[in-house]
Amino acid sequence: MLPAPADARWLAPRDARDPFLVLQSPFWSYDSIALVADGEACLFDPGGRPEDVAALRDAVRARGALVRHVVLTHSHHDHLRGWDEFPEARLWLPAAAAAKPREHKQRDVAFQEVIDERLGRVGAARRFPDHAETFAERAAFTVGALEVELRFLPGHSLCTSVAFVPAERALVSADYLVSPGLPYCRWQPRAFEAAMVTLRAWCAELAIERVLPAHHAPIEGHAAVLAAIDAERAYFAFLRERVRALLAEGVEPALVTRRAAAEMRARRGPSLGARARQDGDNARRVVAEERGAALS
Ligand SMILES: [Fe+2]
Ligand SMILES: [Fe+2]
């Protein structure tokens, strides 16, 4: 197996023919991902901690490949790390991320600095990747003989995209499907739900067999991929119904959020520990949407 920091582990390659390298860090179970083919490599949201980025780079080199592309799927601060280690590569960013107001970009960078300090990386100058090549809806390029297709898919955030490698029947899903049954929505639940409908259609059309999310575990098998997407959709359908019912009963909105979140945890059964905080965030966002809908 490839060398890795002592507390990180390789989730891919699965075998000698696998073109993916996936290094899972203990830092937020973050997965640094590379696609390597025919002496070329593309990195997807490469890091992570500096040592994880370095291990990914060394693994790519060990395969005799040059990093030609670095894809930043969206501009959340955990995904905007490591790109500046590869100045020779084409850097890709959704146009919606590049179009964010300057103060929002500064906030993304400030979050990176907070994380850097936590990781003991003091004094590192961070900046927003303003020079990246952007795409509004889709972009495509090749890594060796493999085509990579970037598709804009807002929902997790207003600027999220995903990447398909059709020949491998693989999806690099960014912060979608990181924890099926517990959607990570950091924007509008309605947009997230719409994104899941779109993603299901794309995964069916491309017969996707493998999902590589940016955190936690890969999903293997076409049926498991569709089931994971369906679990996200079922979650929000259930949550929205409960929020509507509680609001209709006249329950105060902050209490609706707490009660609905508790119901989502109970519905799931086994506790996901600290991750279950996301139920509260999802519930708060659905309550805001439903109250907006009721007011309009
Ligand atoms: Fe994110
Ligand atoms: Fe993330």
Look at residue 153 and give its three-state secondary structure: coil
d(CA 79, ligand 1 centre) in Å = 7
165-176 confidence digits (pLDDT tens)? 999 999 999 999
265 and 239 in contact (C-beta within 8 Å)?
no
Q: Model-level pTM?
A: 0.96
Taking the centre of ligand 1 as the mean of its atom positions, its distance from the CA of residue 175, in whole angstroms, is: 5
Expressed in angstroms and rounded, the spacing between residue 251 Cα and the centre of ligand 1 is 31
Q: Which residue has the higher pLDDT, 119 or 283?
A: 283
Instruction: For residue 178, report the distance from its CA to the centre of ligand 1, in Å.
Output: 10
Between the CA of 169 and the centroid of ligand 1 the distance, in Å, is 23
How many angstroms separate the alpha carbon of residue 73 from the centre of ligand 1?
9
What's the gap in Å between 48 CA and the centre of ligand 2? 10
77 CA distance to ligand 2 middle (Å): 8
Q: Where are the domains of the chain?
A: 9-233
Would the pLDDT of 293 be above 90?
Answer: no
Residues 6+ apart with CB under 8 A from 30: 24, 47, 48, 52, 78, 214, 215
The whole-angstrom separation of Cα 218 and Cα 162 is: 14
For the chain, the helix, strand and coil percentages under 3-state DSSP, each to the nearest 5: 45, 25, 35
Q: How confident is the model at residue 268 (pLDDT cuts 50, 70, 90)?
A: very high
Through-space distance between the first and last CA atoms of the chain, rounded to whole angstroms = 58
Whole-number Å distance, alpha carbon 15 to ligand 2 midpoint, is 26
The per-residue pLDDT for range 81-135, each reduced to its tens digit, is 999 999 999 999 999 999 999 999 999 999 888 888 888 777 677 899 999 999 9
- Taking the CA of 184 as reference, the closest ligand is 1
Ligand nearest to the CA of 161: 1
The residue count for the chain: 296
Residues with CB under 5 A from ligand 2 (ion): 78, 175, 214
Q: What is the Å distance from ligand 2's center to 192 Cα?
A: 15
Q: Tell me which ligand sits closest to the C-alpha of residue 215.
A: 2
Q: How far is the CA of 179 from the centre of ligand 2 (A)?
A: 11
- Model confidence band, residue 295 (pLDDT cutoffs 50, 70, 90): low
User: Vertex 198, ends 194 and 203: CA angle to 5°?
Assistant: 145
pLDDT digits (tens, 9 = 90+) for 234-250: 999 999 999 999 999 99
Q: In the β-sheet with 161-165, what is the strand arrangement from edge to edge?
A: 138-143, 146-152, 161-165, 170-174, 210-213, 219-220
Please tell me the distance between residue 157's alpha carbon and the centre of ligand 1 in angstroms. 7
| Cα 242 to ligand 2 centre (Å) | 27
Q: What is the pLDDT of residues 5-29, one digit of tens each?
A: 999 999 999 999 999 999 999 999 9
What distance in angstroms lies between residue 38's CA and the mean position of ligand 1's atoms? 31
Ligand that lies nearest to the alpha carbon of residue 81, given by its number in the listed order: 2
Q: At the topology level of CATH, where does 9-233 sit?
A: Metallo-beta-lactamase; Chain A (3.60.15)
